[in-house]
Amino acid sequence: MPLAEPPRGGRDPGFAEIEKQFILQPRWLVPIEPAGAVLTQHAVVVRAGLIEAVLPAAEAAARFAGYERVELPQHALIPGLVNAHTHAAMTLMRGLADDLPLMSWLEEHIWPAEKLHVSREFVRDGTLAACAEMLRGGITCFNDMYFFPDAALEAALAARMRSVHGIIVIEFPSAYAADAADYLRKGLELRDRYGDEPLASFCLAPHAPYTVADATFRRVATLAAELDIPVHVHVHETEHEIERSLAEHGVRPLERLQRLNLVTPNLIAVHAVHLTREEIALLAHHGASVAHCPSSNLKLASGFAPIAKLAAAGVNIALGTDGAASNNRLDMFQEMRTAALLAKGVAADARAMPAQAALRAATLGAAQALGLGKVAGSIAAGKAADLTAVALRGVELAPCYDVVSHLVYAAGREHVTDVWVAGEAQLRGGELLNDAFAPLEKRLQLWQNSLGGLAGH
Amino acid sequence: MPLAEPPRGGRDPGFAEIEKQFILQPRWLVPIEPAGAVLTQHAVVVRAGLIEAVLPAAEAAARFAGYERVELPQHALIPGLVNAHTHAAMTLMRGLADDLPLMSWLEEHIWPAEKLHVSREFVRDGTLAACAEMLRGGITCFNDMYFFPDAALEAALAARMRSVHGIIVIEFPSAYAADAADYLRKGLELRDRYGDEPLASFCLAPHAPYTVADATFRRVATLAAELDIPVHVHVHETEHEIERSLAEHGVRPLERLQRLNLVTPNLIAVHAVHLTREEIALLAHHGASVAHCPSSNLKLASGFAPIAKLAAAGVNIALGTDGAASNNRLDMFQEMRTAALLAKGVAADARAMPAQAALRAATLGAAQALGLGKVAGSIAAGKAADLTAVALRGVELAPCYDVVSHLVYAAGREHVTDVWVAGEAQLRGGELLNDAFAPLEKRLQLWQNSLGGLAGH
């Protein structure tokens, strides 16, 4: 986290902002660590992009007298939300095709649209739109998997969000890369170029067991071990995927990944909907994480992830929105609520995934999955000042007996007022501060005209 | 709908507003009838609280030249949402006890809180808060079941919302009534007193099969037939309810209700989570409605209602929020999204409950269930001008290929800007217009202090 180093790309690094020293004084502070804590009359001290201290407000005022003080009198201050799985650029396909079975959705709508439209420009504009949506919804970090990760990275840096970029690999050619080796080479080059970028990091992103060959998975496993970075893969999303693996490989996908040395603490098993008891134990034993995307799993009718069982086994659970084409929101408040509610229904136990667990999965759980457990996901001295203020006011949030219950069950992203990423204010009073988003409205209209023809609207 | 008659209770009837004539000219008009229609360059003409015409905008301008014109240039205009099942006053217990199994939730938290606190004042304040929340979220009509329906009615009239009040009956005494006969007598008296109130109507509301005796159900069936009003009853909410009915009555609750002549077109089967194929056919055969409350069913881990099967059988489906203690939002946008997504997961079919069906269940389906199918639930000449404008703008709703998809999957109640009930503006630019809500903030704080002690916070 060398925050003193200016970001690449000729943009204004905003040092004045980054080096600012300030004290945030919220009504409620929800640090995530220690688990379950909700502090009042506490302050968060920020300096040079980092959290310098978390301490009683009176003490903060005395010890850090020269610091600017920001009052958040009706707000809960939480760690910036971390979106553990998305395809950010797919915002451009939001609502293009809904209420369709997975294969018709992919084959008749999404893939043709991608084939016609996906370009570096598409990914840059779509990712920038995703960043605007996510920041407005209190998300400070996202983990992306899509074509042209270079364009996604460029957009994320322009948006000044923290981001993890998947070194995507898939066995079919696209406008971005010719074959598996080409995908990997381009992704690794990108990582070399941006490896010391403070706001960006990388993971390996083999698309899915049904689109990646053994040889490629082996190469991914070797790279993951060498580079010690996460491996982000769709796995056990549908019954169909499992049947196909049994037919083609004689084993279920997770067993195949295990044989290929991919079930490790670096694994982010995205979706992980269909799991046997043994597979849950396997994930737990190896310290793998699950990126749970409840809205997407419901919308595509993929099935119900066994969240209570995963939690009981000790598997780290992260939440993700998936892409806007299968959600259709990049909204971690919605995912927290849906995850907490759905886990209860699936477990037939109202105690499953309590509000605290949902909030943890959307913050520290996700940060840990992404290899950012020391950087983000909780409000603790030494971590980056990635912070989100949620105004708990208005008749929708009254009365208020339990702040964390409100954050998960009653509040929405519309209650987010202020967001800081590495100490830099990106949202204030609900308004985005970054000029990089100004061209978006016009660009989105152009993409709508372009893709709308395809959708037949 | 004698709109010329002033409402009771000494409040300002707001005739100037009610008798206003105006033309609403939205970017998109979603009338619900005919099914699937999304009209552009169309207008809705309102006069004396009713929809006078729905026609092309150019024609409206020519034919209704003297009418005020309200431009809604970025908006979808939809029928006011209809909340088919709530316990409005339970807003005062929002988040008081979460993540608990049903019986512990009821016996250790909700019932003790009700025993200590529920009074006419509690119900009036809680219902008024619910009305504020619902109007802000585009809901113009709700169906209520709670103690002191007189106080709920008073609040709904003060809020100038359309409301249906359950003539509640339950076999245990409360601060409101001594026994089943007393409950019924008080409810019927209320109906006699307010029977000609244009914004209010009534249904019979026997609480549930496990809290109402056969004799009382028989009396309810007789009254329902005599008065031709809906019967609103929790039924087949949990497995436990069904087991208990089998033990105590030898039959499942629906069969018991059928034997007691309650399965008719007037039946609103609330929850209806656990249904056999025969029970679905029974509901369809008798033209009964189901009030589906997906958030509540998940939160209390009650189970998954078979919505796709009910729809395939032709059962009329309405959506409801249930009370704020088991949701924790009175938010029909949330219920539409959750219902549409969950139906797909449960049916293992992404085509289940498409966006159009969810929107219908939140409008016309609910209005029909409540006996208001000729009054509300669609935008058609002669119906009441209960209308909601949703601003489809901002990066969260871009691009826009399909308006109804956005309304259900991407938009939220925060996008509601304007609401009219019987032609009277109640929300403008997201702000409530009615002074009746002014005392709420202070009153809610008092209730929070009072109930918060019990919750141990």
A330 contacts A134 by C-beta, under 8 angstroms: yes
A199 contacts A422 by C-beta, under 8 angstroms: yes
In this prediction, residue A20 carries a pLDDT of 84
pLDDT in tens, B350-400: 999 999 999 999 999 999 999 999 999 999 999 999 999 999 999 999 999
Q: Tell which of A409, A426, A437, A446 to mutate to test the B interface (max B CBs under 10 Å).
A: A409
| pLDDT band of B62, cuts 50, 70, 90 | very high
Please compute Rg for chain A using Cα positions. 21
pLDDT in tens, B183-242: 999 999 999 999 899 999 999 999 999 999 999 999 999 999 999 999 999 999 999 999
Nearest to B95 among A409, A413, A437 (CB): A409
pLDDT in tens, A305-339: 999 999 999 999 999 999 999 999 999 999 999 99
Amino acid at position A81, single letter: L
Contact criterion met (CB < 8 Å) for A299 and B341: yes
| pLDDT band of B453, cuts 50, 70, 90 | low
What average pLDDT is seen over chain B? 94
Series of mean pLDDT values for 10-residue runs along chain A (457 residues): 36 50 98 97 98 98 95 98 98 94 84 92 98 98 98 98 98 96 98 95 97 98 97 97 97 98 98 98 98 97 97 98 96 98 98 98 98 98 98 97 97 98 98 97 95 60
A172-192 burial: b if 16+ Cβ within 10 Å, else e: eeeebbeebeebbebbeebbe
B326 contacts B89 by C-beta, under 8 angstroms: no
Interchain CB contacts (distance < 8 Å): A and B: 206
In this prediction, residue B10 carries a pLDDT of 36
Nearest to A328 among B101, B405, B457 (CB): B405
Task: Quote the minimal CA–CA distance from A109 to chain B in Å.
Answer: 13
Q: Which two tokens stand for residue A40?
A: 């009042």
- Tell me which chain A residue has its CA closest to the CA of residue B104: A350
Q: Which two tokens stand for residue B59?
A: 């024609």
What does the pLDDT average to over B400-409? Answer: 97
The model carries a pTM of 0.95
Contact criterion met (CB < 8 Å) for B129 and A96: no
Contact criterion met (CB < 8 Å) for A401 and B328: no
B106-118 burial: b if 16+ Cβ within 10 Å, else e: beebbeebbeebb
In this prediction, residue B8 carries a pLDDT of 38
Q: Tell which of A96, A99, A414, A446 to mutate to test the B interface (max B CBs under 10 Å).
A: A99
pLDDT in tens, A211-236: 999 999 999 999 999 999 999 999 99
Q: Residue B27 and residue B39: Cα distance in Å, rounded?
A: 8
Residues of B whose CB is below 8 A from A117: none
Q: Residue B158 and residue A363: Cα distance in Å, rounded?
A: 43
Nearest to A298 among B132, B297, B342 (CB): B342
